[in-house]
Amino acid sequence: MTSTPNSFSSDSNSINPKDILDPFVLENLATHQKFMQRAIDTAEEALRGGETPVACVLVHGGEVVARGMNDTNRSLNGTRHAEFLALAEFFEKFPPSELKNTDLYVTVEPCIMCASALRQYGIRTVFYGCGNDRFGGNGSVLSVHSDENLDPPYPSYGGVYRKEAIMLLRRFYIQENENAPNPRAKGNRELKMVV
């Protein structure tokens, strides 16, 4: 198997269930990959700046109208998540009611805080790269996006460029993070290429 920027070799021939995309996503895969690639590119920019490489784009009318990348390390503000920064940019151009006609493409599943905000604002659909097993609000930890007792739910689909999103995070976490509490020596860490 040849390796390209969007594929990784694997030691086994078995398919990870997390790599199986929903039929809804497969119907228009090229479009979803195009917008997720924009989010991945923005996450690469965050990584180059020493930031956690989580990024997103908001798509309205078939165009990227806002983007955001984590700014928690630089600002030392834990609420400066990619989704919040993209929403702030979006609201400079559109009223909040237009989020019902807008899709979010984000490299990592929205955390519980971001999933709640997206639901309260009425986002149309969320597409994410990899799950967030520690803080995920779209099914990995809590299902904020679909809880029947809250505001109207929104559909959420994971897996588009999942491996690329994971590799960005791995590249970040093997380096030193000056702003991390109680930093640990990371000299013995190796970048695992298999996802």
- Please tell me the pTM assigned to this model: 0.83
Which pLDDT value is given to residue 185? Answer: 56
> Quick check: 174 pLDDT over 50?
yes
Nearest to 156 by CA among 18, 29, 24: 24
Question: CA dihedral in degrees (153, 169, 15, 26; nearest 10)?
Answer: 40
Which pLDDT value is given to residue 187? Answer: 59
Q: Which residues, in sequence order, are bridge partners of residue 59?
A: 64, 103
> Quick check: 184 pLDDT over 90?
no
**44 SS3 class:** helix
Question: How many angstroms separate the Cα of 173 from the Cα of each of 3, 66, 156?
Answer: 23, 27, 26
How far apart, in whole angstroms, are the C-alpha atoms of residue 158 and residue 162? 8
Q: Is 83 a catalytic residue?
A: yes
Q: Which of 51, 83, 109, 164 is catalytic?
A: 83
> Quick check: 176 pLDDT over 90?
no
How far apart, in whole angstroms, are the C-alpha atoms of residue 107 and residue 69? 10
Please state the domain extents for the chain: 18-170
Who has greater pLDDT, 102 or 11?
A: 102
Which pLDDT value is given to residue 53? Answer: 96
Query: What would the pLDDT profile of 72-127 be if each residue is shown by its tens digit?
Result: 989 999 999 999 999 999 999 999 999 999 999 999 999 999 999 999 999 999 99
Which pLDDT value is given to residue 11? Answer: 46
How far apart, in whole angstroms, are the C-alpha atoms of residue 42 and residue 83? 12
pLDDT category of residue 60 using cuts at 50, 70 and 90: very high
> Quick check: 68 pLDDT over 90?
yes
Q: Which class is domain 18-170?
A: alpha beta
